[in-house]
Amino acid sequence: MVEAEVVPLENGKKYMILDTIEIDGIKYIYLSQIENDQEFCIRKLSLDELDILGLDSEEEYNKALKAYAEKEKSAIS
Amino acid sequence: MNSKITDFEEYKKKLVKSSKKTSIKPGCKVSNIREKMQISKTKIALGLGLVGMCTSIIVSPIVAKKIKQNNALNTSLDEYQEDIVVPNTTFFINHNEVINHTAGHNHKEKEILEQLKEKHENHLVTFYLFYQSLMKDEQCRNHYKQVWMQVYNNVNNTDYTSLEDFLEKNNFGTYDELREYVALELQAENIREGR
């Protein structure tokens, strides 16, 4: 077992934080639902990091996912 | 076999669709209140694996160009193949024997395939690693249709007639596209398995 950070989202479900990546000054967090391994999502932090915000568009979603792939690639190769 | 691939691809598409639905919520705001929780490594690896799977279908076209410019990934892929295939077989030493065998009766190729299938659920990955390794041998290159392509078909209950046929039936435009796909899938596998 390892200690992980968990946050509740607006649907009342808890998500563990898998990773955080900063893109253009915005921190994106990669979340996996605790009760359902098959569900993950990406959110971003407000600038003061007090709030977790929904993404604005599919383009932003793809950008955040791309950043994850690149981080993953550089870690493995 | 093809229905299995379709199921897997469908599963990934559903995963992405669901993830987008939960992620894209303009104007949605919740307090960033975090708590610590003890979670199993397996659960974390599964979560990371899901993200990895989604990157392989969404990000692939975006990062493909970068992969071509960066030999690091290709190098790691080659090293990966060496690790997986070469130490556990005597194929290259005995390639003449292999070529002289009738298709479907060579156990070394079958062993290689079975070994790869055990390690990789995705048959596209298995095919690539199998093909790439055997193609390093010139005689195999000349005889692959007659020998190991048929071995592959026998083991997998498929009817591919050539590499081109395999690419076409699995919706790859070129061999490089398959290579890029496999590189990303192997990364996702590594993450899923916590390597």
Helices (H), chain B: 2-23, 41-58, 60-69, 71-85, 95-100, 107-119, 123-134, 138-143, 148-156, 163-169, 175-192
B124 within some domain: yes
For residue B111, the model assigns a pLDDT of 75
Q: Collect all residues of chain B within an 8 Å Cβ-Cβ radius of residue A58.
A: 20, 24
Q: How many domains does chain A have?
A: 1
The whole domain housing A25 covers 6-76
Q: pLDDT (tens digit, 9 = 90+) per residue, B41-96?
A: 666 766 776 777 677 666 554 444 444 434 334 444 454 444 333 333 333 333 33
The whole domain housing B164 covers 71-182
User: How crowded is residue B92: how many other Cβ atoms within 10 Å of its Cβ?
Assistant: 15
Q: pLDDT (tens digit, 9 = 90+) per residue, B85-130?
A: 333 333 333 333 333 333 333 446 677 778 788 878 888 888 888 8
* B176 vs B166, higher pLDDT: B166
B79 within some domain: yes
Distance from C-alpha of B133 to C-alpha of A6, rounded to nearest angstrom: 44
B9 within some domain: no
A34 within some domain: yes
A1 within some domain: no
A60 within some domain: yes
Q: Which of B22, B32, B52 sits opposite A50 (nearest CB)?
A: B32
A64 within some domain: yes
B125 within some domain: yes
For residue B72, the model assigns a pLDDT of 39
B94 within some domain: yes
Q: How many domains does chain B have?
A: 1
Q: With beta carbons less than 8 A apart as the criterion, state whether B126 and B112 touch.
A: no
- Give the B window 47-76 contacts with A, CB below 8 Å: 47-48, 50-52, 54-55, 58-59, 62-63, 66-67, 70, 72-73, 75-76
Cβ within 8 Å, pair A30-B191 = no
A18 within some domain: yes
Q: What is the ipTM of this complex?
A: 0.93
> For chain A, how big is the Rg over CA atoms in Å?
13
B28 within some domain: no
